[in-house]
Each structure stands twice: as C-alpha cells, then as structure tokens.
C-alpha cells in the first residue's frame, strides 16, 4: 500500500502544468524504536509542556507558537495564521531552470521524493515534461513549500515518473575549507598507491544495497529476543583496528595470503629479489632451440 502524499499541487513548466503528488522515497518505519517507560511501574511516559515560570501544565488548546524578538519578548503566531501564509510554491512546483545533473554538488542533496501525476487529466503533460528532460539529459531546479518552509528542489526523470530531491540552501552548507585546509600534502610512493589500487580492484563490485543489512539493528533485535526469552544476554565485542606501524605491510596483509599483488606493484626491494626468478622462468620457453649449444658442455663434463 502506497504511503500518503506529503504534498499535492501542480508541476509547471512555462505555460504547461499538471496536477501532481509528492511521496517520500524512503521510510524509517522498519527501524527498531523504543518507548520511554517508568522504570518502577513499567508504564509508558507521556510528554507534557510545563510553564517555565509557574511550573503549571499547559494544555494543548492553550499552546501557541512564539518568535523571540528580544530576550523574553515573543510575537505570538497561531497555526491558522501560518496556514494562511501562501506563496506560489505552496501549491506549484515551477521549474525555473535546467542544469546538467553533474553540476549539482552532492553536498547539497537532502531528501528524495517520488513525483507522480495526480489523475488522468495531467498524464500527457507530465509525460512531456519528463521525456523532454530525459532527452536533453537535464534536471530541473524549482522551489516548493514543504513542512513549513520553502525548499529548493531538483526534479529529474526516474522510470515512468519523476524524482524530486530537496536541496540545501548555500547558507546551510559548511565550507569544506574549514575542515580540509589543514590536512597536509603527502608525497606518496608509487608502490603504496599501486598496492592500494590493487586492493580496490579486488573489491570492485556492482552496487547492490540489498546485500547490506543494518547489523546494529539486528544485534539490538537479538538483545530484545534474549531478554524476552529470559536467556542471558551475550554481547560480542568487535575487534578494533590496530595502529598501523608499517603502511606497506598493512596493504600487503589486506590482500590476504592467497592474493598476490601484481609484480609492478611490489616495492623495489621485492623486485630485486624476484628478478632472477622471472628471468629464469621466462627465457626457458623462448630458447628451446638453444639446447644443442648445451650438449658440448655435457660432453665436456663426461
């Protein structure tokens, strides 16, 4: 059963528009969740709002939102007043521009939603917008009011529908220079990079999210089952990575005993010792015709 739409309105491209619905593309409903209980009685707890000055409980119908304009000075705003605030993006996703998807820095990506046509009337217009973007390999940039604020949104074709991805504003994204500028530049030996590259090659695979499971959640479920059945709780402590003493040794061990790095990835010292073995192994099949030259030596020895 499909979830309820988070938003309904219109998708608009210039003078072309169609009714659409916006659905969350992911769900957290399968995650393990806990209730807060009274440890003495086992009864569930409920949250209550208390007046910070009088200590009195404040009932739901007495609560109002307030914006602090000065210390302790608030402007009261009701839910009805907020509901009356309407701008175009409250009901219309108006595509304002188109850009190549590669130009959208992943750091700006927030949440994903599925965008579908709402009713038969707008299906043709929806398909035109979708296929035009697909043909030009472009994504649309628009705005929509969602959860009480206007969001930038990237609209792109996905299968028979569209995917809408909310984007962070520039002021919400932290400058990476604050974190990366102090990282020193390191001159890495070719052998190290070759070994690391070989490890990557051995672990290269197709992305398959179904192969990944939430092992922490599974461990929590096992904990709950053990407590439910009255069995002793066994907690396995995972081993922690050891401090790297030799990066070269760590890279070699990462390959495993059965996996050998390519010859060109071995350090210079290894190549020197391995060189005679390669010379002895390679020329032998090439110079099988050289056997007659070896006979005089054997006759002399006889």
pLDDT at 144: 94
Which among 6, 236, 230 has a CA at the least distance from the CA of 111?
6
Q: Comparing 138 with 281, which gets the higher pLDDT? A: 138
User: What is the tens place of the pLDDT at every residue in 231-256?
Assistant: 887 777 777 776 666 777 777 777 77
pLDDT at 12: 94
pLDDT at 228: 83
pLDDT mean over 138-144: 96
pLDDT at 262: 53
Q: Comparing 33 with 164, which gets the higher pLDDT? A: 164
User: What is the tens place of the pLDDT at every residue in 24-71?
Assistant: 998 887 788 899 999 999 999 998 999 999 999 999 889 999 999 999
Residues 6+ apart with CB under 8 A from 109: 154, 165, 167, 168
Residues of the chain above pLDDT 90, percent:
44
Mean pLDDT: which of 141-145, 254-258, 296-300 is highest?
141-145
Residue 126 has pLDDT above 90, yes or no: yes
Q: DSSP for the chain, please give it.
A: -PPPPSEEEEEEETTEEEEEEEEES---TTS-----B-TTT-PBP----B-TTT--B--GGG--EEEEEETTEEEEE-HHHHHT---GGGTEEE--EEEEGGGS-GGGEEEEEEEEE-SSTTHHHHHHHHHHHHHHTEEEEEEEEETTEEEEEEEEEETTEEEEEEE--GGGSPPTHHHHTTSPP----HHHHHHHHHHHHHT-----GGG---HHHHHHHHHHHHHHHTPPP--PPPPPPPP-S-HHHHHHHHT-TT----GGGS-HHHHHHHHHHHHHHTHHHHTGGGHHHHHHHHHHH-
pLDDT mean over 102-110: 95
pLDDT at 119: 87
pLDDT mean over 189-217: 85
pLDDT at 95: 95
pLDDT mean over 182-197: 89
Alpha carbon distance 165, 50 (integer Å): 38
pLDDT at 51: 92
Fold of 7-25+85-172: Ku70; Chain: A; Domain 2 (2.40.290)
């Amino acid at each position: 059963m499909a979830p309820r739409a988070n938003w309904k309105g219109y998708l608009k491209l210039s003078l072309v528009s169609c009714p659409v619905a916006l659905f969350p593309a992911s769900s957290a409903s399968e995650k393990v969740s806990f209730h807060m209980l009274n440890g003495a009685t086992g009864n569930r707890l409920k949250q209550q709002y208390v007046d910070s000055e009088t200590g009195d409980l404040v009932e739901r119908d007495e609560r109002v939102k307030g914006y602090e304009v000065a210390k302790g000075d608030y402007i009261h705003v009701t839910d009805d007043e907020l509901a009356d605030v309407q701008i175009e993006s409250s009901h219309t996703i108006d595509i304002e521009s188109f850009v190549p998807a590669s130009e959208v820095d992943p750091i700006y990506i927030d949440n994903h939603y599925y965008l579908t046509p709402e009713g038969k009337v707008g299906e043709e217009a929806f398909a035109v917008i979708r296929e035009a973007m697909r043909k030009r390999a472009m994504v649309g940039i628009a705005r929509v009011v969602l959860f009480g604020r206007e969001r930038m949104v990237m609209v792109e074709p996905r299968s028979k529908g569209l995917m809408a991805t909310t984007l962070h504003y520039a002021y919400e994204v932290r400058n990476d220079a604050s974190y990366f500028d102090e990282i020193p530049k390191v001159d890495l030996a070719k052998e190290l990079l070759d070994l690391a590259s070989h490890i990557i090659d051995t672990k290269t695979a197709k992305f398959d999210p179904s192969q990944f499971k939430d092992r922490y959640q599974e461990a929590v479920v096992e904990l709950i089952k053990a407590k439910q059945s009255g069995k002793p709780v066994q907690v396995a402590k995972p081993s922690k990575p050891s401090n790297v003493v030799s990066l070269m040794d760590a890279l070699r061990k990462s390959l495993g005993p059965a996996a050998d790095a390519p010859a060109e990835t071995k350090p210079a010292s290894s190549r020197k010792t391995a060189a005679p073995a390669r010379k002895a192994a390679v020329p032998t099949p090439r110079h099988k015709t050289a056997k007659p030259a070896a006979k005089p030596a054997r006759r002399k020895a006889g």
